[in-house]
Amino acid sequence: MALSIEDIKKVAHLARIEVSESDAAATLTKLTGILSLIEQMQAVDTTGIEPMSHSQDLSQRLRDDVVTKANLREEFQKNAPALGNGSAEPAVAGGLYLVPKVIE
Amino acid sequence: MEWEVVIGLETHTQLKTNTKIFSGASIKYGAEPNTQACEVSIALPGVLPVLNKEAVQCAIKFGLAINAHIAPRSVFARKNYFYPDLPKGYQISQFELPVVGKGAVTMQVPAVGKNAAYEKVVNITRAHLEEDAGKSVHGAVEGMSGIDLNRAGTPLLEIVTEPDMRSAAEAVAYAKKLHELVQWIGICDGNMQEGSFRCDVNVSVRPKGTEKLGTRREIKNLNSFKFMTQAIEYETRWQIETLEDGGTIQQATVLFNPDTGETKAMRSKEEANDYRYFPDPDLLPLVISEADKDAVRAKMPELPEAMKARFEAQYALSSYDANALTTSRDLANYFVATVDAGADAKQAANWIMGALTAKLNETGIDISKSNISSLALASLLKRLQDGTLANNGAKVAFEEMWTSLSASAISTVTITASLSFIDEIIAAKGLKQESDSGAIEAIIDEVLAANAAMVEEFKAGKEKAFNALVGQAMKASKGKANPAQVNDILKKKLS
Amino acid sequence: MINSSLKQLGEMLQAKKISSVELTQTFLDRIQQYNPSINAYISLDETKTLAQAKAADARIAAGNVAPLTGIPIAQKDIFCAKGWQTTCGSKMLANFIAPYDAHIITQFDAAGAVNLGKTNMDEFAMGSSNETSYFGGVKNPWSFDRVPGGSSGGSAAAVAARLCAAATGTDTGGSIRQPASLCGFTGLKPTYGAVSRFGMIAFASSLDQAGPMAKSAEDCALMMNVMAGFDERDSTSLNREKEDYTRDLAKPLQGLKVGLPKEYFSEGLDADVGKVIEAAIAEYKKLGAEIIDISLPNTGLSIPVYYVLAPAEASSNLSRYDGVRYGHRAAEYTDLMDMYNKSRAEGFGAEVKRRILIGTYVLSAGYYDAYYLKAQQIRRLIAQDFVEAFKKCDVIMGPAAPSTAFKAGEKVDDPVAMYLQDIYTISTNLAGLPGMSIPAGFAQSDDGVSLPVGLQIIGNYFDEARMLNVAHQYQQVTDWHTRMPAGLE
């Protein structure tokens, strides 16, 4: 499964990471190396083997339906990033986090 | 060509819990922005999800209610995509192994035009637990969107049907039935305005008689049954017209605009979605044992289907009546309370579905808060049954009770108190039915004297004239005469 | 004092021979002196640190002491600590002040330990040399032109250079054990689930595990007593009874069955490192251990499996860094998509981006079965290798890393070569088993520098107390763990 520049661009887009043309070429070389390492897996016959997601065969613990969280909005929003595009103000207003307009 | 529409629904049911599905933050509606967005809700670095027990119980309840397979082991998966209202960049949902498997919902599709009402079974493919996203708020700051994460992490049960429905009427009947059911079993408040029950409707069309499904378009986020009807009807017409004009249908997500009554494809996303589902490593498999199911089963209310069958058997109600009375638990409870207080079942059914429902609809009052309690209605019906009230008088008494009673006042009183209350109304308004045969005979004599022509017609064989005479007699008594006695006496006089 | 064990420091504090403030100040002074050249710490906050030391002294005065009360501990900058800058080695979080405490921070606070500062690390714990840190590489205290290993490189250098009494680390594929080997101290990665991950910034959730990094096995045991234990906020936290990890330290090793996997002594292992390991094994024989040859046949597959699973989980775990609620947001952007793309391109370093891209790729439509599912299946084979092995032995031993510390810049442009650093450590993460590295001697580098070598001890699930016992007994008859780099006295 050879990687192409198009694959890199598609994956970078899915991951929301801007990749320039030159970066894409360099990334392609490195990722191709990593993928060839990964390809070693294909030699193994895994028919009928149960996939392992967790090291312990345990089941999910359930939490009682009780409110335990207080309002910490002001505390949390101290970490809001600067708005950007010329504004150093935090990207919050009226308790809302501000982002560029979301269009549906 | 004759076309057939094929419809499937995906319903996001907000579960009636106190807290979010994976954190202890409140899910109360209407709080100030982000005041119910804890560190898990806003996805701070290092936070982890822990599953809410009540959300799981809700899922089990639903599974039991639709006779579904409840998975002994189900898995939470991450659905990865970027959106500002999705703080982790993934939604925790269930993908390959949902908690609830195949089940079915049976409902009545009401009569439309010349088509009679009929029963329909809609198969449920699956129902899975997942978390809701936050909300984008527009207009707070020019050119920006505001993100409120209070809703992020609210527990949802997404209920998915097979493409079993063949008309907007069927789809809406299913949605209504589901809406009733989730409230009946107490897992959802059913508040559509607040988004507690939201439907996505998949619509496709195909030439009638063919098997292959057409390309579907998904109408997103319908939050009223009226809009659902309009949207499906519009979408169906649009698809048929498009195909008849030689066009093709592209798979798409569409939104319904209530102002124009039209559906329109959302600005097409530039790539096909690739959600990269994989099992969430922060959560372990959800294991549900037989004992867990039994514990929930023990707390389940009698289900509408069972109650309907019981009403038919126990109270000799028609299937139609029994069905209507079991559309909500409050309604069914009201009926049972009315009958338990001594009312005749059939009469109670008629009055509850007739006068009472009309009044409740007119005033927008919920039956659980009705001005006329089940005891008050029962006392009214007792007086109707024992002949104290005629039908007309009962209607007047009902109106009088509605305006003079408040739910709180009557709900506390006994049947005895209710009876004395109705008797006061009857006395005050002079509603008592005239059952003195002497007095009725006198009225009839006057009527016969005044309507000699009608008497002649009757004697000449016109049956209708008899009814007209009864009407005249009732009118003369101002509706108070006992109709059965009027009938009897009139028959004797004319024979 | 800087070479004293945690137990000794505790005794001195309780006997009021020193105060926590004095002890803390000693380390702060050393940090001021050496950190500019070593770069072990990302953030320091003397005011907060000394306030904790004062509080510890008050606690001691009141007689309310726990074993670590008053002892200054360095915290890897992967743990959220309320009011502390918590960066995870990334530009993305360079300005992030954690508004809450990680579980282990709460545990250390409750024990009265002092938070000395936040240590440098590979960005989001992705790296084996500490060179991916946004805050610059860390020097190996034994040889400043060499790397300390990674990702817990700052904690490693801080322990080795005696810039703390002990430190915390995290280990996803070897990030405690490989730096412990390269910097010559004792590091333990516990059984997955033994230490809560709550508040520990996620890299690969099913593999990440926090553990102690300290001068000796005994110190690690005391640290584990604070760090380990059930936490209801982590669904993968193991609900087990609290245990005393020091309980078996003194047990003799007579009859101990030590398994030597042949795959850990084959090609790829530096010959001089191999000799040190063999000498250590010989020492264990003297202590009464029985040596058994075993095989972990799927060891070679652990790297490919890891480089599917860890990036896949990471690609999803790191999606929350989108510049919306906290973290880096691009200064200029045109729309939402542009804001995402730029914020993440600028906020993440090259290795993190590579792993996000690989992880996104292996999960994307059409590849899931061939990569992710396959890797999970082979993960089970790897775990089963250990199940079989532990039928024959009590602990497994081998090298922790294939070589001694390498030079900075040597592997930074060759990710695959860098990944091979973790060949002996990754499989225990995949299986969820505990593993540790203890100083076992020194090997000469090509340019004549004497560099530490770590012996890895792998135990069965929940067998940390036995592993610590095995390590401690060795440390009773050897002094490798007491050596410290020259020029830092």
pLDDT, tens digit, 9 for 90 and up, residues B272-330: 689 999 999 999 999 999 999 999 999 999 999 899 999 999 999 998 899 999 989 99
Q: Pick from B10, B11, B173: which is nearest to B107 by CA?
A: B173
Give the nearest partner residue to A65 out of B18, B255, B274, using CB atoms. B18
Q: What does the alpha-carbon distance between residue C286 and residue B237 come to, in Å, rounded to a whole number? A: 88
Query: Which pTM was predicted?
Result: 0.92
Residue B14, helix vs strand vs coil: strand
Indicate whether B396 pLDDT > 90. Answer: no
Catalytic residue among C20, C129, C133, C151: C151
Whether residue C384 lies within 8 A of chain A, CB to CB, comes out as no
- Which whole number is the average pLDDT over A83-102? 95
User: Token pair of C453, please?
Assistant: 């070598």
| DSSP codes, B44-104 | -TT----EEHHHHHHHHHHHHHTT--B-SEE-EEEEE---TT-TTSEEEEE-SS-SB-SEE
Residue of C nearest to B80 (CA): C316
- Examine the residue annotation and report whether C175 is marked as an active-site residue of this protein: yes
Report the number of distinct structural domains present in chain A. 1
Domain boundaries, chain B: 3-291, 302-429, 437-494
What does the pLDDT look like over B416-470, one tens digit per residue? 878 878 888 888 877 777 777 788 888 888 888 888 888 888 888 888 888 888 8
Q: What are B122's strand-pairing partners? A: B105
Catalytic residue among C143, C175, C427, C437: C175
Name the fold adopted by C1-489: Amidase signature (AS) enzymes (3.90.1300)
Which CATH number does B437-494 carry?
1.10.10.410
ipTM of the prediction: 0.97
Neighbors of chain B with 3 or more C-beta pairs under 8 Å: A, C
What does the pLDDT look like over B194-242, one tens digit per residue? 999 999 999 999 999 999 999 999 999 898 999 999 999 999 999 999 9
Indicate whether B112 pLDDT > 90. Answer: no
Neighbors of chain A with 3 or more C-beta pairs under 8 Å: B, C
Q: Identify residues of C whose CB sits under 8 angstroms from chain B CBs.
A: 79-80, 86, 88, 93, 96, 98-100, 102, 197-202, 204-206, 232-236, 312-313, 315-316, 318-322, 324-326, 336, 340, 360, 363-365, 368, 372
Give the nearest partner residue to C233 out of B50, B147, B281, using CB atoms. B50
Q: How far, CA to CA in Å, does C71 sit from each of B384, C67, C219?
A: 87, 9, 12
Neighbors of chain C with 3 or more C-beta pairs under 8 Å: A, B
Q: What does the alpha-carbon distance between residue C126 and residue C103 come to, in Å, rounded to a whole number? A: 22
Residues in chain C within 8 Å Cβ distance of A62: none
User: Token pair of C32, please?
Assistant: 């001021």
Whether residue C377 lies within 8 A of chain A, CB to CB, comes out as yes
Question: How many CB pairs (< 8 A) connect B and C?
Answer: 97
Give the nearest partner residue to C320 out of B89, B276, B282, using CB atoms. B89
Specify the pLDDT at position C335: 95
Whether residue C373 lies within 8 A of chain A, CB to CB, comes out as yes
CA distance C472 to chain A (A): 27
Catalytic residue among C4, C76, C343, C437: C76
> Residue C281 CB: number of other CB atoms within 10 A?
17
Whether residue C301 lies within 8 A of chain A, CB to CB, comes out as yes
CA distance A9 to chain B (A): 12
A 7-66 residues inside an 8 A Cβ radius of C: 7-8, 10-12, 14-19, 27, 30-31, 33-35, 37-42, 44, 46, 49-56, 58, 60-61, 63
State which of B112-121, B167-176, B443-452, C262-271 shows the largest mean pLDDT: B167-176
Percentage of residues of chain B with pLDDT beyond 90: 65
To the nearest whole number, what is the mean pLDDT of chain A? 94
Residues in chain C within 8 Å Cβ distance of B79: none
Q: Do B39 and A99 touch (CB under 8 A)?
A: no
Whether residue C415 lies within 8 A of chain A, CB to CB, comes out as yes
> Residue B144 CB: number of other CB atoms within 10 A?
21
Q: Do B46 and C198 touch (CB under 8 A)?
A: yes
User: Token pair of C121, please?
Assistant: 């690390």
To the nearest whole number, what is the mean pLDDT of chain B? 91
Q: Confidence band (pLDDT; 50, 70, 90) for B269?
A: low
CA angle, B11 then B12 then B18, to 5°: 145
CA distance B262 to chain C (A): 28
CA distance B84 to chain C (A): 7
Q: Confidence band (pLDDT; 50, 70, 90) for B476?
A: confident
Mutate which: A17, A56, A73, vs B, most B CBs within 10 A: A73
Q: What does the alpha-carbon distance between residue B40 and residue B152 come to, in Å, rounded to a whole number? A: 9
- Examine the residue annotation and report whether C215 is marked as an active-site residue of this protein: no
Mutate which: B41, B51, B136, vs A, most A CBs within 10 A: B136
Q: Do A55 and C433 touch (CB under 8 A)?
A: yes
Mutate which: B145, B187, B257, B274, vs A, most A CBs within 10 A: B145
User: Token pair of A86, please?
Assistant: 């010329």
Residues in chain A within 8 Å Cβ distance of B17: 65
Specify the pLDDT at position C291: 98
Q: Do B149 and A58 touch (CB under 8 A)?
A: no
Indicate whether B140 pLDDT > 80. Answer: no
Backbone dihedral angles phi then psi of residue B25, each to the nearest 5 degrees: -85, 145
Q: What does the alpha-carbon distance between residue A27 and residue A23 come to, in Å, rounded to a whole number? A: 6
Residue B5 CA to its chain's centroid (Å): 24
User: Token pair of C44, please?
Assistant: 């320091």
Q: Do C232 and B78 touch (CB under 8 A)?
A: no
- Which whole number is the average pLDDT over B127-150? 93
CA distance B298 to chain A (A): 19
Q: What does the alpha-carbon distance between residue C42 and residue A54 come to, in Å, rounded to a whole number? A: 32
User: Token pair of C67, please?
Assistant: 């074993």
Per-residue pLDDT of chain C (489 residues; tens, 9 = 90+): 899 999 999 999 999 999 999 999 999 999 999 999 999 999 999 999 999 999 999 999 999 999 999 999 999 999 999 999 999 999 999 999 999 999 999 999 999 999 999 999 999 999 999 999 999 999 999 999 999 999 999 999 999 999 999 999 999 999 999 999 999 999 999 999 999 999 999 999 999 999 999 999 999 999 999 999 999 999 999 999 999 999 999 999 999 999 999 999 988 899 999 999 999 999 999 999 999 999 999 999 999 999 999 999 999 999 999 999 999 999 999 999 999 999 999 999 999 999 999 999 999 988 999 999 999 999 999 999 999 999 999 999 999 999 999 999 999 888 888 898 899 999 999 999 999 999 999 999 989 999 999 999 999 999 999 999 999 999 999 999 999 999 998
Residues in chain C within 8 Å Cβ distance of A63: 232
Residues in chain B within 8 Å Cβ distance of A97: 34, 84, 146-147, 149
Residues in chain B within 8 Å Cβ distance of C380: none
Q: What does the alpha-carbon distance between residue B78 and residue B300 come to, in Å, rounded to a whole number? A: 31
Indicate whether B28 pLDDT > 60. Answer: yes
Q: Pick from C81, C62, C68, C67: which is nearest to C24 by CA?
A: C68
Residue A3, helix vs strand vs coil: coil
Q: Do C319 and B49 touch (CB under 8 A)?
A: no
- Examine the residue annotation and report whether C43 is marked as an active-site residue of this protein: no
Q: Do C360 and A11 touch (CB under 8 A)?
A: yes
Q: Do A100 and C335 touch (CB under 8 A)?
A: yes
Residues in chain B within 8 Å Cβ distance of A60: 51, 76, 283-287
Question: How many CB pairs (< 8 A) connect A and C?
Answer: 182
CA distance A14 to chain C (A): 7
Residues in chain C within 8 Å Cβ distance of B147: 324-325
Indicate whether B270 pLDDT > 60. Answer: no
Q: Pick from C488, C476, C474, C472: which is nearest to C214 by CA?
A: C472
